[in-house]
């Protein structure tokens, strides 16, 4: 993303409630207030508030209208093996074998019901997220201090924060006094962040923008004043809610194997049934031949398999829920259960554990390094050109290589020692 100079922004862009353009954290306080057409002392007037409410709407997360519950329930049957089982149940009913038909339909309905209930619970996370920024806020309007519901806030409002308050929207801080905000719900940082009002570099990561306060944060200490720069869906919390709402087809190793098995088994069973019907025509009446083929189809379908898989996944989801982990789709449990290592930093934030060298200082020279993660691709550059071999650089790289080898050997020895201790214990 290229940074456009604030002075070249059109007025419609300048006051749009988004932190994409301009980059609010990189602007000085006066420029931010001017772009949002506000006043540090007086705040917005009644006419401005009314106009901005009409333009930007309420400060709340609006959930996308979902499918009706009955359609969600019907879609639970949209699986190859379940469709085969439903067809088998219909055939059993046509043959007036009501007990077998009832058992087959009961298994498929139980499978769909379990999946429907679990996914409905997971979708409740969006509602919980929407309520996370609903609170009351202290604002300055027409030079007066008012207490208003957070949904009434508009871009340009001057908001006062004090210890114990919940941040009602995304704010650019304009004044702080020992202000600390807990932003763990957004950034994963377990400790409160000490805030400042000075501009930071445009490329500063979200978790390091100390002059910003984001909706849903909790003020743990101090006081501060901020100006609203984003509300509702345009806040960082709102963007998370939009990501949660995105509906993507979830395919895991289990679902892929299950679908492949269902299709292959269907083709095989139908082939055998056709062969049985053809052979039966040569010895029996067509009614008996077709009944034998149908019996083969029904008996060959493992009607208990979908139920077993669903119940197993549901048990895993329940266990994860007790540990405060939200699983939206049942098959996701299988993928998560296949994880053997989860890399996180000291705060508990998930990371890829791929630290990458970007610069090297050796022999009084600065070198830049391209490439990402563990991929063995990249070059070393000096003055924007590929660096030629130099003794200082070679020695530096050799030292790093040897240190990594020695560290690896030490870790291997430590692992062998721990395993021996466990075996002896």
Which amino acids are annotated catalytic?
345
For 132-191, where are the alpha helices, taking DSSP H only?
A: 184-187
In angstroms, rounded to a whole number, what is the distance separating the alpha carbons of residues 150 and 161? 13
In angstroms, rounded to a whole number, what is the distance separating the alpha carbons of residues 47 and 55? 12
* In 36-83, beta strands by DSSP E: none
Residue with tokens 């339909």: 105
In angstroms, rounded to a whole number, what is the distance separating the alpha carbons of residues 80 and 263? 7
Q: How far is CA 149 from the centre of its chain?
A: 28
Beta bridge partners of 44: 141
C-beta separation of 167 from 184 below 8 A: no
C-beta separation of 190 from 184 below 8 A: yes
CB atoms closer than 10 angstroms to residue 118:
21
C-beta separation of 193 from 204 below 8 A: no
Six-digit token pair at 392?
């200082």
Residue with tokens 């962040």: 193
3-class secondary-structure state, position 92: helix
Beta bridge partners of 175: 225
C-beta separation of 263 from 208 below 8 A: no
In angstroms, rounded to a whole number, what is the distance separating the alpha carbons of residues 297 and 84? 9
C-beta separation of 252 from 334 below 8 A: yes
Residue with tokens 């997220």: 129
C-beta separation of 58 from 232 below 8 A: yes
Q: What angle do CA 286, 289, 290 make, to 5 degrees?
A: 90
Q: Is the dihedral of CA 65, 68, 72, 74 positive or negative?
A: negative
For 209-303, where are the alpha helices, taking DSSP H only?
A: 236-245, 253-281, 286-300
Six-digit token pair at 368?
């830049």
* In 87-243, beta strands by DSSP E: 136-141, 144-149, 158-162, 170-182, 193-194, 212-213, 218-230
């Amino acid at each position: 993303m290229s940074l456009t100079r604030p002075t070249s922004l059109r007025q419609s862009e300048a006051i749009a409630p988004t932190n994409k353009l301009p980059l609010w954290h990189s602007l000085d306080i006066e420029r931010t207030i001017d772009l949002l057409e506000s006043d540090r002392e007086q705040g917005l007037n009644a006419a401005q508030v009314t106009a901005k409410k009409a333009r930007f709407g309420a400060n709340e997360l609006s959930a996308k209208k979902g499918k009706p519950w009955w359609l969600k329930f019907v879609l639970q049957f949209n699986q190859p093996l379940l469709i085969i089982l439903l067809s088998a149940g219909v055939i059993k009913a046509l043959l007036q074998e009501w007990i077998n038909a009832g058992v087959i339909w009961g298994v498929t309905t139980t499978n769909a019901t379990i999946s429907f209930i679990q996914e409905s619970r997971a979708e409740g996370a969006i509602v919980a997220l929407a309520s996370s920024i609903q609170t009351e806020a202290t604002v300055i309007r027409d030079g007066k201090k008012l207490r208003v519901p957070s949904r009434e806030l508009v871009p340009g409002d001057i908001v006062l924060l004090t210890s114990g308050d919940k941040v009602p929207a995304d704010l650019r801080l304009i004044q702080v006094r020992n202000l600390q905000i807990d932003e763990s719900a957004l950034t994963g940082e377990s400790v409160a962040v000490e805030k400042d009002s000075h501009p930071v570099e445009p490329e500063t990561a979200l978790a390091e923008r100390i002059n910003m306060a984001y909706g849903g944060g909790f003020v743990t200490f101090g006081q501060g004043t901020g100006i609203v720069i984003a509300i509702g869906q345009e806040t960082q919390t709102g963007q998370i809610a939009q990501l949660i709402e995105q509906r993507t087809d979830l395919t895991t190793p289990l679902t892929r194997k299950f679908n492949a098995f269902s299709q292959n088994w269907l083709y095989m069973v139908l082939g055998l049934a056709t062969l049985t019907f053809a052979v039966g025509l040569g010895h029996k009446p067509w009614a008996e031949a077709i009944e034998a083929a149908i019996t083969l189809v029904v008996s060959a379908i493992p009607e208990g398999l979908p139920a077993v898989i669903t119940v197993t996944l549901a048990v895993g989801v329940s266990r994860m829920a007790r540990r405060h982990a939200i699983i939206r789709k049942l098959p996701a449990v299988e993928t998560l259960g296949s994880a053997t290592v989860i890399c996180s930093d000291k705060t508990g934030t998930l990371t890829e554990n791929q630290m990458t060298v970007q610069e090297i200082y050796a022999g009084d020279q600065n070198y830049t390094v391209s490439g990402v993660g563990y991929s063995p691709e990249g070059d070393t550059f000096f003055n924007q050109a590929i660096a030629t071999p130099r003794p200082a650089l070679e020695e530096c790289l050799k030292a790093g290589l040897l240190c990594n080898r020695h560290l690896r050997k030490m870790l291997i020895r430590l692992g062998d020692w721990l395993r021996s201790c466990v075996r002896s214990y």
